[in-house]
Structure 1
Amino acid sequence: MRAAYRAIASLIGLAVVLQVASIALAGFIIANDADDGVTIGADYSNFGQSWHSIAGSVIGLLALVFLIVSFLTDVPRGRMLAGIVVGLVVLQFLLAVVSFGIPALGVLHGINGLAIAGVAGTAARRASIPAAQPATSG
């Protein structure tokens, strides 16, 4: 189960990197479309935005699976780290929703995304530490 824990934690970190890339892509597509005279309004969307939204949902599902797997492994502080990832993912969703009304909070959405990647990376590294061996007498 340590391998599954490590793999899911690593996938969450990788997914966050792809989130950062997709929102950067979205911004550049918006700038390019605006330069080309495309009207950017409420009904506007582009590939980067769509990918960011879809991948965010995948991260949410991965976080829940990660929490479940954390109860099936002996990774030091594994449950705590998985719980923190889930909490940060919930906060991420809330920040996304609120940021549409208060765009300045989008900064916190970005910072929180990096925190998710950091905690997931820490969890993956902890899963790489060999489990403590019981002492043998003899």
Structure 2
Amino acid sequence: MRTAYRALASLIALAVVLQVASIALAGFTIAADAEDGATIGADYSNFGESYHSMAGTAIGLLALIFLIVSFLTDVPRGRLLAGVVVGLVVLQFLLAVVSFGIPALGILHGINGLAIAGVAGAASRRASTPVVAGA
């Protein structure tokens, strides 16, 4: 189960990296489309935006699976780290919803995404550390 824990933690961290890339792609696509004369309105969408939305949902599901797996492994503080990841993912969703009304809060959405990747990466590294018998 350590391997599953480590794989899920690494997958979540990688998924967040792809989230950062996709939102950058969305922003540059919007700028290029606007420069080309496209109307950017409520019905406008591009691949980066669509991917970011769908992948965010997938990260939420991965985080829940990660939490379940954390109860089946002996990773030191594994449940705590998985719980923190789930909490940060919930906060991420709330920040996304609120940021549409208060765009400046989008800064916190970005920072929190990096926190998710950091905690998931730390969990992956912790799962890679061998358990010392009697310690």
Instruction: Report the TM-score range of the alignment, normalised by the length of the smaller protein.
Output: over 0.9
Aligned to 1:24: 24
Report Cα offsets for 1:109-132 as digits up to 9, x if no partner: 000000000000000000001012
Q: Distance in 2 between matches of 1:61 and 1:115?
A: 18
Where 2:125 maps in the other structure, the secondary structure is: helix
1:115-126 aligned at under 5 Å gives the runs 115-126=115-126
Report Cα offsets for 1:92-121 as digits up to 9, x if no partner: 000000000000000000000000000000
RMSD: 0.8
Q: Which has more radius of gyration?
A: 1
Q: Distance in 1 between matches of 2:61 and 2:81?
A: 16
Aligned to 2:106: 106
Aligned to 1:8: 8
- Which blocks of at least 5 consecutive residues in structure 2 are unaligned? none
Aligned to 2:36: 36
**TM score, norm. by length of structure 2:** 0.98
Aligned to 1:82: 82
Give the 4+ runs in structure 1 shifted more than 2 A.
none
**TM score, norm. by length of structure 1:** 0.96
